Every structure is written in C-alpha cells, then in structure tokens.
Chains A and B, each alone.
Chain A
C-alpha cells in the first residue's frame, strides 16, 4: 500500500484538500512552485536548480555554513531575516517561506565583471580581505545580511563575542576570519531603519501566510498540519511518517546520508506549539519554540542555566531552525539542552488524542535515542518548575560544555548543575546532570544524595565527589577517551565548586 493511499483512504485524516492552493515559496522575490517536488529535496538543491549557484554545498550536514541563505521569519515581534543552512531545509517545510541568496544583494555585474553598487556588507568583505577562494563567501554574506538587518539585542553581554556569534556557523579555510569579524562588528544592525533600503523596507510588509499545504512528490508526501489535533491524527494514521520540527537532525540524514522516508509530518505550521510563557506552575516552553527564540527570551534572571548553555548550542543557523521539542525528541546522549532540563527538574508535556500527561525529563529518555513518547502522542511543551530558595540561602546554577572546539561542536561532556544552599551555605538540594557519559543524558543520583547536608566548598563536597567518580561508565569514541571523559565528570564538578563557592 502506498503512502498516498494510506492518507487518502482514511477519511478522518486531513490530507491536502484539492481546493488548497498549490504549495510554493518565494526565492529572491520570485515565486517558485513546489508542485510535484519531492519533499526530501533541500532548499540548497532547489536554489541551485533555479540557477542560484552561490548556494554551495560544503558538507551537507549543516556544519560549514557554505549553503547559508536568509529567510524572512516572524520572530518575537515583527519579521526579521534569519540565517539558515539550506542543506538542512527540506522542500516539505518550504510552503510560504521567503528566502534570499547572495545573488539578490546587488545588481548584476557589468560586462567587465565589476559591480557598480555593492551592498555595504559585500564591499566590506571584498575590501577588507574577507574573501580568498570565495567558495564560502556567499554563505558568510548571508549570515552578515541577517545580522545587518537585525537590531543587536539590548543588554547583550558586553564581554561576549557578537561578531563570533554571527559567524561561528560559517567555516572559512582561507582567510583566518579577521576581516570577516571586522565586517560583522562594523555592520551588525547597521541596516536597521535604513530608509530606501529595499530589504529593510520589505520587513514592514506582512509575512506571507504559512499555509497548511502538503508537498507531495511521486511516492512520498510531507503533511503540514496546522493544529495539534491534526498532527496527532496524522501520526496515528501514518506511523511510518517521520515527524519533523526544524529538520536540523533529520535533514542530516536526508541531505548527507541520502536517506529516504515514506512520509513526513512537518510541524512548522502548528502555531500552538510555539507559545512560551510563565504561570503559577512555572515556565512553559512550547515544543515548537526555536532555540533562537528561546535565546531571546531567556536571560541570566529568567533561566540562568539555559542562558549559560545556549551560546554553545549549534550555530546561529541551527538555532534559527532547531526547536526545544526536536532537541528532546532526538534524544541525543549529548543533547545540550537536555542536561539543563534535567538539572532544572523540568517536565515534558506529552499529548495524546485522549489527553495530556506530564513526564519528568529524568524519566523521558528510555534508551539510546529513545523516549517515552508513544506512537499516538506528541511532545507539546517543557515545563520548568519555579525555583524555591530558602530564606538567606542561595541557588547555584552552573553549566559547562567541553568539546573539541568551543563553538559549533558536539559535546565531549556537557554538565549542568543546580544546587540549593541554605543560609549556612549547606546544600539542601542538588541536581547534577551530564551528557556524553551514558547512553542518555543522565543525573548523578548518588552523588546528588551525598551532597545534601554538605557544605558547598572543596572540602565539604569531597565525599560526594568521590561518589561522583564512580557514577558513570563513559565510552571511548571519536571525540575523547574514557579517561578524559571520566576526568571531566569530576573536574567539571570541581570547577563549579571553585567558581561558585565562597572564596
């Protein structure tokens, strides 16, 4: 039985109705039909097929940024340009998307190859020495483009590295980045409010709607439900379908691995999944909230642990697509946010057709790349309980990620700790979460128990540290040896104590 028959055969299931508009997206200002396009096809392939060969494949796994394009997205209030990696953006997700490539930034060159009117960011790259071989350059240009039209966030940490934030998702093997960093420093936000600039003025226009339109290839369909109920019904009717949020994980399988799926259920148009807010039971973060949106929302006050971890989460391009829910559902042993949720004692809100259940994150992962979410269920949100600190006490929230490279890398070991201290500096409650040391992100339960009642300093925590040293049995892999991982487990704890205990 083909997938299409399965969809059409179940009358209760909302497949694409014949009256729906044909799927399409906008590329450099021109509508491109998605009619009959295989939903596995990537935006990278589609753009190159349209002749926009500035969009380069460098790795097909979202790590090099050579295929970076800008998409206009509704973001916080209003619309902005966001840099995304087109190799991990699937045709099935594209309905209603407005995408831009480097070719659109300036008029076509004159016959002698010169261009009269380079975009300021193009001139900055070319004149500063920011391009050598040129293969990565259009991708850098589009990362800078998105930054150019985005106002820098007020209150962004001055000690941070804003230029690095813009560029970390783009690899250049030639230049050494100096000129590119200078361009990013000089130009981030410079296009905001620039009158007469067509790209700036376009942001004032209403966003094209995100139509709930399926994209249907020859033997595969990408459903695009617009409500949670629809999504769950589709999931029940199509157990073989791959559920896709941001596609930053499944996109790697498709783009690099050439993997094919019988069907997709794309969640991008389910607005109910994108809420974020606080109530008396704490904080509720919708599963469809992107990491970039979360990053805007959190601060050292609202969610210090997450705030500390997020700069290490992927690249800006990945954060613009990846979602809170996708990160949990992919159930990676090194899920960088998973350790935060574990340390914060967060709960997963899981919905079936029949109702909702709440599962602590500590019981969410059932095995390597497996979760408690059943075939008829959908992850809705993450709930973070409010923090209770005893009078006169304090709360330590600390996290660190160790990887081979500081940014845009997979954790060797990632740790997130929350420790509550009473007014005498004694631990009343501790959660020590680790990624990269077990098949799933996990807490050091015995060490946590041993910490309660200890004074929060090197001597006081020594016994718990000894327990911690026996808690996990990490493995050797491409990133690190057992020995290194084992030392990091205790050393990260030591470092936390050194940094947060009273001197």
Chain B
C-alpha cells in the first residue's frame, strides 16, 4: 500500500458540512408526511410495581394517535443487549424516570402534554440506591470474575514481620460520568410499502439496533434496515443504549403505519440513560523499600444499575487494566457487578479501563507515600519492560515493546519535569503562596491501554467497495461516524489501497442492508477493523483490475505482466513500460466492458487474540496503545478551586493515518477525562432521581477550563506491525492521560502539609471537585497540625 493519502492531516470530509451548518443528524431529517412524535410516560419512583395505566385522557387529546403500552408489543418485550433483562414496558420500574408507556402524537408539545395526562397506579417499594448496601444485601448482576497471578496472600501475610515491605489497605471510589454527547438519543422509523422498516438511528451499533427492533416486533432481521449517517457524539453512550428508543419508534411505525420520531430531550436523556460505572475498590498492597511494588489484592465492585447491559465486559476491562502500566508480580483481582435501582450504567470511552487505572494510580500513590518514597519515582521504577517476566501482565500477555519507557523518558525531558517540579516546590515555599494559601503540584502518569474487544468474536468487520465506471469509488463498512474521524481515516486508507486520490472516494452512510452483522463502533477499534476489511475489498478489486490495466499498458512488442502493475494517484503504470500510464477511470471503464465485477466485499478478523475467562489468562489484546501526560495545577486552599496551568502529552498513535484527527482525539479525550476526575459529578437524590439533569447542574469542561499551556505530540517513528497502515487505535486511550490531573492535584494538596514534612497519605475523592479538594487540603493541614 502506498502512502499518498495516509499520513496527511486532511480536513475530515464532514468538517465543511459542519461549519456551514449543512450536516444532518437524525433530528434534522425532514419528517415524512403525517409523522408522529413520541414522548415517554415516566416513573416518579425509583422502584415500583406498575399497576393499571389509564391513558383515556391522553388519547382524548386532539392530535394524539396512540399510547403505546406493553400490551402493544407483538414480539418480545425486551431490549437487553447481552442479557434479556430490559423490558421496554416494565411491569416493575427499576429506576427513577423509567418509561412505562409512550404517547404518539402529531407534535412533541402535544405528546408531552398527553404524557402528563396518563394515569398510572404505582405501587412504590423501597429502592436499592446505595452501592455498599447493595453489596451487603448480595444484590449482584454477576458472579465474581477473577484474575490472579503469584502468591498474593503469601506476600501480604508475610509482610507484617518483614521490615522490608510496607503494606497499605484501603477503599477507593470513582464517580459516575455522563457522556453528554451534544446530540441526544434520536430515532426515526419509516415504514416502507412492502412492510420493511427503515430506521434512522443515532447508534454506534446499527446491527444490534436492528436485532433489538426485530426482537421487539417479532419479525426477521431482514425486515429491518438501520441507517446511521453520523452521530453528534457517542463516547459509548450509544453503543447499546440507542436500541430502546429505536424500538419505540419502530413499534410506533409498525402499529400506526406512520413514520415515528423519538428524541430524548436533555433532561430525559440524562435521566433515563446509563453513565460511566461508579466503582468501589477495596485493596491491600505491598511495596518494598526499593520502591518495587510486590503485591496487590484488589476487589472491584461496579454499580451496574438496574440491568446488566454491558457491565460484565466493562468490569472485565477494568480488571485487565488495574495494573495500568505497572508490573505487579503478585496480583489478584476480583470483580463483580452490583445491581442497584439506578440507570443502567454502560459503555463510556475507556470501558472500565479508566476505573481500573485510577485504582492503580491510587494504590501507587498510597504505597509511595506510606513508604516515604516519591510517587513519581515509584511510577518510574515499576513501569513494564518490553518482554519477559518484567514485561508480562497479570493475565499473561507480554507488553511487546519498550514504548512505555521511551515515552516516559522522552516526556520527562521535553516537559522539563524535574526542573519544573523543583520550581513548583520552591514557589510553594514562598511567602506569597503562604499568604494566598495556594500551592502548585505537578505529576506525570502513564497510560497502557489494551486494544481489541475483550469479547474476542466481536473483533471482525466487513466492507463493500464499489468502483463506478467513471473511476469514482463508494466505500461502505460497518463502522459509524461519531466525530472520531473514522470516515476521514478510512477514506485515506481506501484511497491508498486502490491508488486513487482521496477525492475519488465517497464514504457512504452506515446501513445494515449493505454491510450486515457488524460489531459496534467501540473499543477504539473502528479504524483497525473496518480498515482491515476495506483493505481486503480493495485488494480483491486491484487483483481484478490489474490484468485490465496490464493489457491497456501493453504496447506493440511489450506485454505487461499484471503482477508489475502499480496503482497510485489515480493512475496505473508498470516498471516495464516507463512513462506509460493509464487513468484509473479508464481501467474501470475497460473492466466493465470486459464484464469484470467492480464491486467487492472485504472481511477482517484480528489475528492471534484469545482470552480464557475462567483461567483469567490469555492474549486479549492485539497490542497496547501507550502514552503519558505531565500536568501542573494550582489549587486554592481557601476554596478548593483548581486551575490547570500546563499539560504536556506524548501519545503513541502508531504511524498516524491522519494527525489532525489523531491529535484531536488526544486533546478531546484528555479534556473528557479531566472532566471525569474534576468537575463532573453525577448526583442522585435520596429518592433515586438524578439531580444533575442538564448542563446547568452537570458541568463538563468549558473552553475556559483547558490548560493555558498545552503541548501535545504523537510518538514519532511508531509504526505498529500488523495494524492497518501501521497506525494505532486512538479513541479511548487518551482519556486516561487525565489521571495526571488528579495526581497533580494530589501533589498540590500534599504541599499544604507543614514545611519540611510530607504526609503519609493524601486522600482525594474522584471527582476532585472544589469541595473534594478543600476537604483533602483541610485533612492534610489538620494532620500536619496534629502531628
């Protein structure tokens, strides 16, 4: 494959449409005539039996076509993606705001008014709203999973008398996070005259949306087409949780024969859909005086909410990332998904990885401070080696290269880490810092993120590439565009695979009737998998076109061998005929005249990956995406307010297919992660209602929160063998670079200890809101005074 288009920082195809206001999302599609709009009837209780539903007043309202209830479901009343535990119309509601009926009306205000007129005989019962109480009550979705290596008990039990080891134990929690995609969930179902349904859905997983719709309607998959042209942000929130709304739209369309549109407004979106899982970690860990971590015994509990959704896999990934980038010789991880009466927590960029890695950083910091060691030094000393014992994870996969160390040392230099840390400490000792009660902290954290779906069979993709007789090309694949630049990167891949300029490539909307049975666009795998499938399809086409080109290039006395034909920049040429070229369009036209198929499918499956869940062993990942970040912050000891002063990032995106796109993923992922660890806090009321229901109460980072000084670089000379174009997945990994923000805050908090002392622990909640930071500062000051 040539690299004419791949590697260029091309402006993504959609960018022009976006800035001119012409890009259409599901909610922007013109509604067909007589279309209906749906509005939910929601539970005011977190848990209640649903008695009689009286919709007579709603039905009587002019403009109301129908009120959908469970009795209207022709197929299965269930939308669960893994386990069938999600009734679309429940007989018992399991979270506040859950829909029990849907009003279909001529317009949204009418539907909304009618929904308020639907009477429901609720029989409330006591909800399970607390993670600890649920654990105590044995309320779980899953049996525990285990990953174990080495003699954890032996190390920890033997540690007490061993003066060379320092042991800590504790509990640590991470908070929920709302995806806050700017586009809320939306689906438009259009009935076709032959009984098929075409559903435009903002979904990361059209094939699963198709399957859930068919299940609810009790029809075959071939009756349903799901199309996703683009999403206004996904972040995992539309991986499984777009399905229910598509099912409501489909049900409305099937029953009324009229197109039906469902869009959750912001409050309903935030109140009805899952978040990043809150986690509780209980740990015991040991470190040697040499700064080497010896053992970690870890129990992870995630709050899965009311249904299982993808929680089992999320927990699995958390367990696989509880080492972050650190070699821990004896390590045991137990993970279990807890059931509560809250929204069903779901995929969110990182998919458990952030929680697992936050725990790893928490443990490293606890160990270092307890042993009187520098946390930065401890991080550095425990980074994985490339191979062998010191380069093998707790589940038995070798890291495979020494990029972690390369990145670590390179970033230490480029960020002037040591100098700046000394400067921050000197500043903290000034009279000004003391008078203004301000401290600065600087910290560096690594990221090692495994790439591949941990459910191995999902690592497959299909594509369909059509060459038209004018030489232009349409590319279909199963991936979806949500802003991550997938279409841009894949258009560059397709262009180079066929040897045409990128302007000849038209990326087509994702449709389940063109590329069927596709996996979700998730796990950062969109480019790797679909790129592999497109390359396969393009190779087939090139093999068919090469003989045609060869014959066109052959002249009097010279016969060109198809094997020596090269396609590049929209032309074909051959070494044996220097100077002779034939346009790609001409080759396409000639092939068509010779009755050669110009359309080819492609397929890809990631080779060499496996995981034995029972044994907790395997090679679940094709490779690891690595990076590191240095963050410097200043905190205010009066208020707990925090300012990010500077961020330096070095990230490994392999041989980047599109640096503009990849740097955008790094920057955006970092800021989203920064929100998770700082300002974003999902607050539930005592009745189970989500109180942070909209941007007025739920604060994602704004343009004023990003670092004033910000240096992002991609690791140079980083081509990854065995991946499309030598690139690496980049969607999720950068989010966890933001753990450096949290550790920098912790450093700043530690600096509130009396001069010359260093606290033996610094507890900091996640998210580190102003209140959490002030609590940590006050505790540190109080401990200093007490000591």
Supposing A127-B11, A480-B771 touch, asked if A109 and B681 sit within 8 A by C-beta, the answer is no
Q: A59 to B20, Cβ gap below 8 A?
A: no
The total of chain B residues at the interface (CB under 8 A) is 83
B703 partner, pick from A56, A61, A131, A164, beta carbons under 8 A: A164
CB of A54 within 8 A of CB of B703, answer no
Task: Pick the contact of B18: A114, A134, A252, A495 (CB < 8 A).
Answer: A134
Q: Mark A88-123, 1 if CB is under 8 A from B, else 0.
A: 000000000000011101100100011100100011
B15, A126: Cβ atoms closer than 8 Å: yes
Interface size on A, residues (CB 8 A): 85
Shortest Cβ distance from A182 into chain B, in angstroms?
A: 11
Instruction: Provide the bound-state CA to CA distance between A168 and B112, in Å.
Output: 32
Distance in Å: Cβ of A38 to nearest Cβ of chain B = 9
Q: Do the beta carbons of A484 and B702 come within 8 Å of each other?
A: no
Nearest first, the 3 closest Cβ-Cβ pairs linking A and B are A54-B21, A133-B483, A135-B232
Give Cα A178 to B667, complex, Å.
8
List A residues 439-480 near B (Cβ within 8 Å).
477-480
Near A by CB (< 8 A), chain B positions 741-772 give 769-771
- State in angstroms the CA–CA spacing of A441 and B234 once bound together: 40
Give the complex CA separation of A161 and B774 in angstroms: 25
Say yes or no: A167 contacts B703, CB within 8 Å.
yes
CB within 8 Å of A: which B14-54 residues: 14-25, 27-28
Asked whether B695 lies within 8 Å of A63 as measured between CB atoms, the reply is yes
**Chain B residue at minimal CB-CB distance from A409:** B699
Contact B182 A136 (CB under 8 A): yes
Residues of A within 8 A of B679 (CB): 404-405
Q: Given the known A-B contacts A63-B695, A102-B19, are A174 and B664 also in contact in the complex, defined by CB atoms under 8 Å? A: yes
A127 CB contacts on chain B under 8 angstroms: 11, 15
**Are the CB atoms of B13 and A113 closer together than 8 Å?**
yes
The interface residues of chain A lying within 8 Å CB-to-CB of B702 are 164, 167-168, 171, 177, 405-408
CB within 8 Å of A: which B454-490 residues = 482-485
Q: Is A60 at the interface (CB under 8 A from chain B)?
A: yes
Q: List 20 A-B contacts (CB under 8 A).
A: A53-B21, A115-B16, A118-B16, A126-B11, A126-B18, A129-B661, A131-B19, A134-B23, A164-B702, A167-B702, A173-B179, A173-B181, A176-B667, A177-B702, A256-B267, A258-B109, A404-B681, A410-B697, A484-B774, A498-B435
Q: Report chain B residues within 8 Å CB of A499.
A: 436
B109 nearest in chain A by CB position: A258
A56 touches B182 (CB 8 A): yes
Please report the C-alpha to C-alpha distance between residue A21 and residue B590 in the assembled complex, in whole angstroms. Answer: 67
* A137 CB contact (under 8 Å) in B19, B265, B775: B19
> Which residues does chain A contribute within 8 Å of B17, judged by CB atoms?
109, 113, 134
Q: Is B21 within 8 A of A101, CB to CB?
A: yes
- Residues from chain B with Cβ under 8 Å of A377 in the complex: none
- Contact between chains at B664 and A122 (CB < 8 Å): no
0 or 1 for each of B2-18: is its CB under 8 Å from A? (1 = yes):
00000000011111111
Partner of A173, one of B180, B636, B706, B778: B180
Considering the complex, give the chain A residue whose CB is closest to the CB of B113: A258
A123 vs B19: C-alpha distance in the bound complex, in angstroms?
Answer: 8
Does chain A have a CB within 8 A of B235?
yes
- Check A171–B695 contact: CB distance below 8 A: yes
Flag if A256 contacts B437 (CB, 8 Å): no
Chain B residue nearest to A128 (CB atoms) is B660
Contact B706 A492 (CB under 8 A): no
A175-B667, A176-B706 given; A61·B436 CB < 8 A: no
Say if the beta carbon of A10 comes within 8 Å of chain B: no
Contacts of A402 in B (CB 8 A): 639, 641, 770
Whether B705 sits at the interface, judged by CB under 8 Å, is: yes
Contact A495/B639 with A58-B182, A133-B183, A173-B235 known, Cβ cut-off 8 Å: yes
B266 touches A135 (CB 8 A): no
Return the chain A residue nearest B767 by Cβ.
Answer: A404
CB pair B691 A404 closer than 8 Å: no
B356 to nearest A CB, angstroms? Answer: 23
Q: Are A404 and B774 in contact (CB under 8 A)?
A: no
Q: Is B500 at the interface (CB under 8 A from chain A)?
A: no
Q: Is A337 an interface residue (CB 8 A)?
A: no
The answer to whether B704 has its CB under 8 Å from any CB of chain A is: yes
